[in-house]
Structure 1
Amino acid sequence: MKIVFPVLSLEMGGGARFIYHLANALFDKGHDVEVVMPEKGLQVWPLRTKLRRVKELTPASIPSADFILPNFYLTVKPAWESKKGKVVRLSLGYEPLWVPESQIAKQTYLIGAPIMSISQWHRQLILQETGLQSTVISGGVDISTFRPYPKPSNLTGRKNIFYIMRDPTSGYTWKGGADFLQVIKQIKGQIDFDLTVSIPESAQFACPVPCQVKISTTDQELARLYAEADLFIYTSYFEAFGLPPLEAMACGTAVISTDCGGNRDYARSGENCLLVPPSDIDQLYSAVSHLLTKDDERHRLANAGHLFAQTWTWQRTADQVEAFLLSLK
């Protein structure tokens, strides 16, 4: 099949990483895959597929294909108006929840195109907000890259927490960064640990405790940050899927995550991670304190998470997408 992904950019962030992993996995299955992106769009992630640079994303700039998969509300109109292939609305998050043009974003779900969602929670949200059904395709993890590495704490005795801080001034207040910093400040006075923070937007932030700030521009760099940590913490208020907790599990690192919706498909509290309610400072504090001090429990969750993540591959995601697209022919 010829499959086209019209995108605005492939910058940092889970949505862009989802696209490049999915596009590459479909290419590996033998499909003719092409990503179309404006000249000014930044590309951080590596593609094995064709990449077509265009002046701007317009109906005329979309190539003919069997299927066109717009994944963000601003890419739907040019894809739909091109009439150059069957449009399938790939939703990586229900945009009306956070974009300023919420009504315009909602209309991109109502055009009559089949919809792919990325978790059962996401499917229910789209149904609730639009009355439309969608087909779930799961996110995945590259287990050849996201894998365990030796943990420095085994030699130093100092446990390390890893956190991905999204820039609140860029609109990411719903990622819960302020909650994380509040909890870390409280715990630091009672339990000693090291803290590593990655900031995809390279933004400045005031950390109330000493920390190492890292910028990960490749999956390999990100995987090492996950794997060398003893504990990964995720504090989003809502996510359509949420790649980081699954990636941390694949790296053999214990995970504490908020129950943010989309991660319910793979996160099993007490089995492969600990889940706490979003923005619940007290429960987050208790969970972090518990896993920092209970080595056996932390190791148990880390091992269980690693085993669980092994079947959640991008090849599995590509199989799901392929089967759905073939059902539409």
Structure 2
Amino acid sequence: MSGRRMYFMTPTFRPVGGVVKIFDYVNHALAFGYEPVIACPEKYKAGLPVFEISRFSHLTPENGIRFVALEQAGVGPDDFAFLSWPSHYPILEPRIGRGASHEQVISIVQNVRWANPTFERGYAVRLLSRPMARIMTNDVVLEACKPYLNESSMTETIMLGNDSAFFARERLGGFKGPIKVGYTTWKSDVGDRVAAMFRERGSGFRFRAIRNPVGWKELKKLYQWSDVFLATPLVEEGFYMPGLEAMAAGAVVITSDAGGNRAYCRFGENCLPARFENAGDYAAALRALRGYGAGEIEALRRGGYEAVGRHTLEYERDRFGGFMEKLEGRLQRNAGASRGSL
């Protein structure tokens, strides 16, 4: 596994969850000797947000990383392409060259919504039936997509990894003073509705929100400030990373069930449940936490720390190495079989 070019298609250089995962796989590809080329509609400039994340700061033209327009991604006989957004495949497909296998396109499926016939007007579901190699980011995503998958193509689950050490904070004991509650609002206003229910003086709670998508430094401050984090996923999520990041910071997480977050959520063991968009449920969970003893709080935190330990970038990288070894072997066998039939 060395020297082969791999195009990585990304819609933006903003560090949103799906984009960050694309760049994690850029690093994984480098670790196994591939030549990554990053294809994006935005032009590379030093200091763009995703490159301010320390583990991506080395991905620069000065270090030999090529950046091209999205339409320049392609698959020659010795190339691979790596994509996450369904809308990128129609851009890539005409550029899959003669002599290249469709399994040289690697699709990472990060969300259960791929199996939703209304997502991308049904194109994502149809795309699951096309021949290409696929990585599913957890078993929930796999089960959602399985009825539509091309059975002749290689598909593996590689559990999502995260650089949770960046957010880590070790905490002991119960809550002291007013319970500090953090949340974000760019996916839901349920946090604001919960905060409004505790406006009266002496409620025993303090609330803090981030209202626009921000970088990791701002999120780290919020997670580490919060005794409790109100996770507000969309109704369909592949993973919902903020819940795991808040657990790494030792915050007790209250969250709804978005499907994909069951990869790490164990209700009653490392987080507390609330129905989707139900402010009353979140408020009830907060009131219940006020009565928890130090041992009960520590048990929830401990469960969170254990979940964080199962989702490492090192594990993800090693599984990707095994995936590529199998894929390369499969491509060689298929090419040999084709030559033998001539």
TM-score, structure 1 normalization: 0.79
Q: Helix, strand or coil for the counterpart of 1:111?
A: coil
Whether 1:76 and 2:89 are equivalent positions in the alignment is yes
Deviation track 1:234-272 (CA, whole Å, cap 9, x = no partner) reads: 122221111111111111111111111111111111111
Partner of 1:169: none
Deviation track 1:21-65 (CA, whole Å, cap 9, x = no partner) reads: 3323443455433322123589421233455333x422x443756
1:196 to 208, 218, 238: 208
Contact 2:270 2:300 in 1 (8 A): yes
Q: Helix, strand or coil for the counterpart of 1:108?
A: helix
- Rounded to whole Å, the distance in 2 between the matches of 1:104 and 1:185 is 40
Return the letter of the residue paired with 2:249: C
- Rounded to whole Å, the distance in 2 between the matches of 1:264 and 1:99 is 23
Deviation track 1:153-177 (CA, whole Å, cap 9, x = no partner) reads: 98x83321111221xxxxxxxx4x2
Moved more, 137-146 or 275-284: 275-284
Partner of 2:159: 138
Return the letter of the residue paired with 1:27: L
Partner of 1:256: 254
- Rounded to whole Å, the distance in 2 between the matches of 1:200 and 1:23 is 27
Structure with the greater alpha carbon radius of gyration: 2
Give matches, 1:208-247, under 5 Å: 216-217=214-215, 219-236=216-233, 237-247=235-245
Partner of 2:180: 160
Gaps of 5+ in 1: 167-174, 202-215
% identity of equivalent residues:
22
Residues 91/200 of structure 1: CA separation in 2 closer, same or farther (3 Å cut): farther
Return the letter of the residue paired with 1:107: R
Give matches, 1:262-281, under 5 Å: 262-281=260-279
- Rounded to whole Å, the distance in 2 between the matches of 1:247 and 1:131 is 31
Return the letter of the residue paired with 1:62: G
- Rounded to whole Å, the distance in 2 between the matches of 1:97 and 1:44 is 31
Partner of 1:309: 308
Residues 26/53 of structure 1: CA separation in 2 closer, same or farther (3 Å cut): closer
Moved more, 307-316 or 181-190: 181-190
- Rounded to whole Å, the distance in 2 between the matches of 1:14 and 1:252 is 20
Q: Helix, strand or coil for the counterpart of 2:83?
A: coil
Contact 1:126 1:132 in 2 (8 A): no
Deviation track 1:188-227 (CA, whole Å, cap 9, x = no partner) reads: 44723222212344xxxxxxxxxxxxxx42x343223212
Give matches, 1:1-329, under 5 Å: 1=1, 2=4, 3-28=6-31, 30-39=33-42, 43-46=48-51, 47=56, 48-49=58-59, 51-54=65-68, 56-58=69-71, 60-62=72-74, 66-83=79-96, 86-93=104-111, 94-95=113-114, 97=116, 101-128=120-147, 130-132=148-150, 134-148=155-169, 157-166=177-186, 175=187, 177-189=188-200, 191-201=203-213, 216-217=214-215, 219-236=216-233, 237-296=235-294, 297-329=296-328
Gaps of 5+ in 2: 329-342
- Rounded to whole Å, the distance in 1 between the matches of 2:196 and 2:266 is 27
Q: What CA RMSD, in Å, does the superposition of the two structures yield over aligned residues?
A: 3.0
Deviation of 1:307 (Å): 3.4
